Amino acid sequence: KKNCRFALNHTKFKYIDTMKQALQIGLYILSIFFAYMIYKSITGPIEFKKIKQERYAQVISNLKDIRDAQEAHRTVKGVYAADFNSLVNFIETAKYTITTQRDTSWMEYDPNYRIDVMKEGSVIDTLGFVAVKDSLFKNSDRYKKMMYVPFAKDEKTTFEMKADILDKNGYKAPVFEAKTTKSIILWDQPEDYLAKENTVVNVEDIDGPEIRVGSLSDISTAGNWPTIYDAKKNK
């Protein structure tokens, strides 16, 4: 009987010891988990900010190319391109006319006074032509890809672009807008970070859920990004 009680006590102590070890391991794992969660709560927003700024910079670079191409299109044709196919075709085929303006004067008969009088005016001379492609992009062919949204899940995702004629107090002006959403650019980021990013209002951030250039409701070719992204490109 003594041997039996000893065996039972030994088994009991062994079980308790095993449970203690399991509890210690569990607490150790939990401490690692909580330490990781604390680490992520600190570094997560920092990493997200770094990722979004890098992605936004490339998206904005494409939007700037679109704007430059559209402004050239308006200079030559008087209106903005309605789609990317026509805009790319314009870049590859169109030319700027290089002109110079000079003042001039001449004598002209005035029937009212019945004498020759001095007239003044200006003359525009055509000096030559420069390809739009060479002027805007030199030796680069990046204009062929400017319509695609960088970092989108589908690499063929394009910016949404529209052109129109805006009646502003009786003055009709051509306008355009090209845009995409932050959700498309940051599709692989944590949902809570993205939800917060879509509602951000800050002078150092891009307000709202979209990144865009131009406007269909105002005569403007400005982008909605802060100047920090322009400074990055200049560097």
Q: What is the pLDDT of residue 32?
A: 72
Q: Is the dihedral of CA 122, 94, 128, 130 positive or negative?
A: positive
Among 169, 223, 234, CA closest to 60: 223
Among 152, 100, 144, CA closest to 123: 100
Answer whether residue 144 shows pLDDT above 70.
yes
pTM value > 0.85: no
pLDDT in tens, 152-197: 999 999 999 999 999 988 899 999 999 999 999 999 999 999 999 9
